Amino acid sequence: MIFFYRRVNKELARSYTEFFDKLCVTLRQLFFNSAVKKISFFILLIFMSCSTEEKKITPAFYHWQTNFSLTTSEKEYLENFPIKKIYVKFFDVDWNASTNEPMPMAEVILDDMDLENIEIIPTIFITNRSLKNYPLEKIETLGKNISDKIFFIKKDIKEIQIDCDWSETTKEKYFRLLDFFKKETFAKRIKISATIRLHQIKYYDRTGVPPVDKGMLMFYNVDDVKDYETKNSILDLAIAKQYIYNFEKYPLDLDVALPIFSWGVLYREESMLKLIAHLRPEDLADEEFFLQKNKTNFVVKKSTYLNGRYLYADDEIRLETISLETLKSAAALLSPEIKNPDVTVSFYHLDTTTIKYYPYEKLQDVIRIFGEQ
């Protein structure tokens, strides 16, 4: 009985071996006879697996006020989103003519230090004139002063972002400053990011690429706000499209910041006087004082106050706002250009007067576009 069992097993094994030998021969013949088809098939599989890979999108906000004390409505808004990061402006660095030094200004007061599940990222705005006026050999001293001040305000940090619209004349100083930050924070495993403007990607061979871990593309302020003929200096997609170049060559991973702020640009005799922050259409709805020339421009019919500013008759205001449809179009334009799989999409900026115009469900729709490939 045992012998019979072994003999059956041997016969089965022989049958299986013969079957697999024939199968291998058949597969080899199929492979060599249709090699081109096979290669095409595998290329297609690779393409499909790559194209269906989802990006990791992290929603975030900028906070640009000196007092970081969130209202109840702001906290509820962030929780419902839900937001994972807030880039908080810790302070500005601007040139002080009296001391002949770059000095910290508008330092933040951090009242909400421990927001649950939200990372606070210190963001430092450095004016270009601070770098222009400061000697190259003292840049590390400036970096040490900035670093010390950041850690005095907050010690538990994972990332520091530097915001500076550098020029070709200040590039060497700025990049040396960023190098200092990277060396200073390397042991602490703190990432350094920098804001990037559209023109700094299109002309990166001239402007240079900052030595940081990641860039934050500021997709706004794309046109000349002072020009009377400008349509929308915050975000005009027709203008922005002219700068969608060299993304495939740009050697830095990019996050994206989109605008949700508004303002009015006040002109007198076609010369810009000032910006009126947070202006919306309802602020200019009183026909006794304002005449609407077109979709965005208003004429002051008779002198009046507006948001604490005195306006004269015949002054003009260009109202600049960003619609949700514009945000979606901006996301659709940028999404194919951002190749890195981990993308933070941040909105500028967080305050109660702004977020009521942008329900979090609608901004989530904008976020999703960046994950669609």
Could you tell me the strand order of the sheet in which 290-292 lies? 271-277, 263-268, 316-320, 297-300, 290-292
Q: What is the pTM of this model?
A: 0.85
Whether the per-residue pLDDT at 309 is higher than 70: the answer is: yes
Which residue, 320, 316, 235, 317, is CA-closest to 278?
320
Averaged pLDDT, 96-114 = 91
Assess whether 115 and 248 both reside in one domain: yes
The answer on pLDDT for 13 being more than 60 is no
Average pLDDT, the chain: 88
DSSP 224: -
Listed residues 30, 50, 70: the one ending a domain: 50
Residues 237 and 280 in one domain: no
Chain Cα centroid distance, residue 317: 29
Angle at 181 between CA 175 and CA 187, to 5 degrees: 140
Percent of the chain with pLDDT over 90: 82
Q: Give pLDDT tens digits for 15-28.
A: 544 554 554 445 44
Q: State yes or no: pLDDT of 127 exceeds 90.
A: yes
pLDDT value for 216: 98
Same domain, 21 and 116: no
What is the structure's pLDDT at 25?
46
CB neighbours of residue 324 within 10 Å: 15
Total number of domains in the chain = 3
Same domain, residue pair 173 and 269: no
State how far Cα 47 lies from the chain centre: 28
DSSP state, residue 295? S
The 10s digit of each residue's pLDDT in 45-75 is: 343 444 446 789 999 999 999 999 999 999 9
Token pair recorded at residue 179: 């190098």
Model confidence band, residue 44 (pLDDT cutoffs 50, 70, 90): very low
End position of a domain, from candidates 321, 345, 360: 321
Number of H helices, E strands in the chain: 12, 18
Are 33 and 177 found together in one domain?
no
Structure tokens at 31: 């492979």
Whole-number Cα distances in Å, 315 to 9, 289, 303, 311: 100, 11, 9, 7
Q: Are residues 287 and 159 in the same domain?
A: no
Same domain, 162 and 204: yes
Q: Are residues 100 and 175 in the same domain?
A: yes
pLDDT number for residue 56:
94
Query: What are 135's two structure tokens?
Result: 């000697």
We report the CATH number of the domain holding residue 247 as 3.20.20.80
Examine the domain organization and report whether 7 and 125 are in the same domain: no
Q: Which domain holds residue 112?
A: 56-260+324-370
